[in-house]
Chain A
């Protein structure tokens, strides 16, 4: 067979992998090295010296006198102002008067400028007109948008502030509204106290769900159904498969119905004098129990299927032998069945750890990280940071950095697990006994 044919066959799959896996991972990597957010936008930005930029610079030790001057505004009669006034339908006579007699004059404040206007021949008749006329002549760096560095520098020069090169650079950097390349995200992640909390949450969530349900409960189900008659066992297993095959939105909605203030649990317990409450979000402990159960019931089915088939593949005679040897049910499970489930258990552990680390839709749909942020796990936090948060400033860059950590952890774990399980050994030729 020619290798070319192989490449042709694999090309569609390869294209999909590149498009839907490698490209997103690569983009995550790229984004994580920026400070992109709703504020910066994802295209380029402009330069704008806002009051908050001035405060920020002041905090950084920038000369406050200069900042005050930058922050101040003045009014001057210039061609630019006159043109803007004409466009805004300011009386032509007034504009002509200003142009002919006062072009080039400057006033230190709005009060002074308006006082001057009131004395003119063609002065505005009403206070309202006066107030709408004056802004056209305002001259200020604040709130003005400069498309390029050059324009900003030009305006700064006009003000004759006597800036040093360092100060100029600082001003330019601080006033830039677009995104920039930065490694700040990772430093921030390391320093923020929330990170530690989210890390602990994630560890707790993964470990509890895995041990209690994906392994523990799955084992209980597999072993108990093994000892049941075939028909009942199949029914039981099918029942525990329901959470897996129900659409997650519907499944979580059922949990919400169950736990709401007016939901099923409350409908029952109020009869016994218990005050109704939201059983899902009442306390952090409640939230954890629900989150772990919601995810656990979904995850248990996979372990159950895998363990069940592993148990049924244990030769019947071996189980007979253990009974003949005097082992009771528990000893049979403990000494014969469980040791032979070593590999399936390890496999489920690794596989489910990866999947629990990265999937967050059930938590998102149920508690959404609440109450407070007590059930906020890493993946959910990345999603919240980057795509859906209360403050409205979506921090794509920081969110991507959080997601990248998950990607890196996932890749490392996958590599370990490929090495550890030695899939090549599974297909080695069997030893034939003679």
Chain B
């Protein structure tokens, strides 16, 4: 089912949290609402499922206006951050709850619960109570409960936040698998860019109640619309250096380097200040324009080594390199460089050029 938010505005008292948001979730896709905490992504989710009243604008499900339809009748499945399992019911009763309140007959319920349990691999846990389950198992139960009555859409509110690292990895692919198998439209709210990038078809990145860009993970990583998005995506994060355009060249003062303007910023006026974004994978030994510095911190990640390089004027660059060679120790002087084609340039307002 396609979900559309039209000029959606949400206020809490005098505080406007979200103003005039427009968003479309396509049939069968998984869209990630990505942003730092407090940016309004959960609020958007709650507006879609009807827990929060929409102050202005419309919510459309498959072309139908459901703005004034109560939560109970929207037929949406939600997995909450805390899973919100009912502690006094068994796993089977939890999963069956949406059908129980619709008074479906016991045989049907039992059959459907069995199917859902099979889908999320918890057949052997049906008789247990939530308190007897691990976090990952609770997550699966919540997922089964959200999906059992074939909802029009699945909403996931920070579903992995309460899990430890290993389970998170496992559940990431599990949730995606279930979503693909059922072909359901899904919205994933998360503040973790890795989660958003690895699980979703498209990402809507949010800041201060506004959607900055909606694009596929790859597109967004390759072509972020502004410096915030560039900074939010990618781990280890991008580093920014100040630059100035003069006579068709880009001058980066802290690196004491100068190179001809790439095509996309050729037309930018002379003398304007710009910000240059350098991703860790593009600050490497082999590149032509050298920015010398000193290794200030080394993080050994096994397959890769991550270096923090302190420049002469105190700015910091990051570099991620394959761990084929033995790692450098802090204090080592390095002379690594950049390639202009791989850099991002942002103007004063933060927009990418």
Contact = CB atoms under 8 A, between A and B. Distances in A.
Q: Tell whether A pairs with B.
A: yes
Nearest to A320: B51
Contacts of B131: 431
Contact of B102 (A318, A326, A433): A326
Interface in A66-109: none
Nearest to B87: A340
B72 A336 contact: no
Interface in B118-133: 131
B77 interface: yes
B293 interface: no
A434 B101 contact: no
A326 B98 contact: yes
A317 B45 CA distance: 13
Contact of A321 (B75, B84, B135, B164): B84
B96 to A, nearest CB: 10
A335 B101 contact: yes
B41 interface: no
B149 A340 contact: no
A61 interface: no
B135 A324 contact: no
Contacts of A327: 72, 97, 101
A431 B129 CA distance: 14
A327 B88 CA distance: 16
Contact of A339 (B73, B77, B88, B149): B88
Interface string B53-88: 000000000000000000111111110111011111
A317 B71 CA distance: 14
Contacts of A324: 49-51, 71-72, 74, 76-78, 146
Contacts of B326: none
B98 A317 contact: no
Interface residues of A, number: 21
A331 B97 CA distance: 10
A183 B101 CA distance: 61
B84 A323 contact: no
B163 to A, nearest CB: 10
Contacts of B73: 326
A434 B80 contact: no
A315 B82 contact: yes
A229 B101 CA distance: 26
A433 B85 CA distance: 15
Contacts of B77: 324
B86 A336 contact: yes
B101 A331 contact: yes
B133 to A, nearest CB: 9
B72 A321 contact: no
B97 A325 contact: yes
Contacts of A434: 134-135, 164
A325 B145 CA distance: 8
Given A323-B51, A323-B71, A434-B164, A317 B84 contact: yes
Contact of B101 (A318, A326, A342, A433): A326
A325 B78 CA distance: 8
Contact of A323 (B72, B88, B89): B72
A116 to B, nearest CB: 99
Interface centre among B75, B78, B86 (most CB of A within 10 A): B86
A331 B89 CA distance: 14
A320 B88 contact: no
Contact of B82 (A317, A323, A335): A317
Contacts of B78: 320-321, 324
Label chain B's interface by main secondary structure: loop
A342 B88 CA distance: 10
A328 interface: yes
Interface string A332-350: 0001100110100000000
Which interface class (under 10, 10 to 19, 20 to 34, 35 or more) fits B? Answer: 20 to 34
A324 B149 CA distance: 11
Interface string B87-125: 111000000011011100000000000000000000000
A151 B270 CA distance: 136
A318 B81 CA distance: 11
B253 to A, nearest CB: 49
Contact of A433 (B46, B98, B135): B135
A322 interface: yes
Interface centre among A325, A327, A328, A433 (most CB of B within 10 A): A325
Interface string A402-434: 000000000000000000000000000001011
Contacts of A318: 82, 84-86
Given A320-B51, A433-B135, A434-B135, A328 B72 contact: yes
Nearest to A323: B71
Contacts of A315: 82, 84
Nearest to B149: A326
A378 to B, nearest CB: 37
B97 A335 contact: yes
Contacts of B85: 318
A307 B131 CA distance: 23
A339 B135 CA distance: 23
Given A320-B78, A335-B97, A326 B84 contact: no
B169 to A, nearest CB: 15
Given A323-B51, A325-B97, A325-B98, A340 B88 contact: yes
Nearest to B88: A339
A325 B80 contact: no
A320 B46 CA distance: 9
A55 to B, nearest CB: 69
B157 to A, nearest CB: 8
Nearest to B49: A324
B84 A320 contact: yes
A339 B164 CA distance: 31
Contacts of B51: 320, 323-324
A338 to B, nearest CB: 10
A328 B71 CA distance: 9
A315 B82 CA distance: 9
A328 to B, nearest CB: 6
A197 B111 CA distance: 56
Given A315-B84, A318-B86, A323-B51, A433 B134 contact: yes
Given A323-B50, A335-B100, 7 more contacts: A315-B82, A322-B97, A326-B98, A335-B97, A335-B101, A340-B88, A433-B134
- Top 5 nearest A-B pairs (CB, nearest first) are A321-B84, A325-B98, A317-B84, A339-B88, A317-B80
Interface of A: 315, 317-318, 320-328, 331, 335-336, 339-340, 342, 431, 433-434
24 contacts: A315-B82, A317-B80, A317-B84, A318-B82, A318-B85, A320-B71, A320-B78, A321-B78, A321-B84, A323-B50, A323-B72, A324-B51, A325-B97, A325-B98, A326-B73, A327-B97, A335-B86, A335-B100, A336-B86, A339-B88, A431-B131, A433-B134, A433-B135, A434-B134
